[in-house]
Amino acid sequence: MVKSLVLMCSLIGFCFAGSDSLPDPKLTPGDTIPGAGAQLCTKGYAGSVRHVSGSTKHKVYEEYGITSHKPAEFEIDHLISLELGGSNDPKNLWAQSYETQPWNAHKKDVLENKLHQMVCSGQMSLYQAQYEISHDWIKAYKLYVGNK
């Protein structure tokens, strides 16, 4: 089994860091927009800066070894969400599954909303929220949302 995994990793050029629900930190370390902090709590901010081209999405799927998928099986997600000052740079994008259980894109959306609310209410610094979500969003979910 380990030999197969090592062979598969070498053939496709990467391995996930311990979980299919976490991005590969070599491909997706996270990236932010400098100076975005003051605008993040303005309604509509995320929509105003969401600009990821189809070619960029295709490149991210390729980097993650996803050559085909069903509609709505994955999304190209921002590791550090736009609501938390994340950028549209490929260093902040990954192919996140909607189907993995229990940790998937729907669960991460809940965490993003919670951290955004905490930042905007002054309960957490923007830097802390960006750190938490980019280093291990599942651990952050358990800490700030619960183990639901």
Residue 6's pLDDT band (boundaries 50, 70, 90)?
Answer: very low
Reported as a single tens digit per residue, the pLDDT across 45-85 is 999 999 999 999 999 999 999 999 998 899 999 999 999 99
Residue with the bigger pLDDT between 112 and 17: it is 112
**Domain, as residue range, for 125:** 2-144
Predicted local distance difference test score (pLDDT) of residue 22: 93
Q: How far is CA 55 from CA 21, 52, 70, 90, 146, in A?
A: 23, 8, 18, 11, 36
Which helix (H) or strand (E) covers residue 124, if one does? none
pTM of the shown model? 0.84
How many domains in the chain?
1
Residue 114: strand, helix, or coil: helix
Q: How many CB atoms lie within 10 A of CB 140?
A: 21
Indicate whether 14 pLDDT > 70: no
Residue 97: strand, helix, or coil: strand
Beta strand ranges found along 34-144 (DSSP E): 74-78, 93-97
Distance CA 57, CA 4 (A): 29
Q: Which residue in the block uniquely carries the two structure tokens 């905490």? A: 118
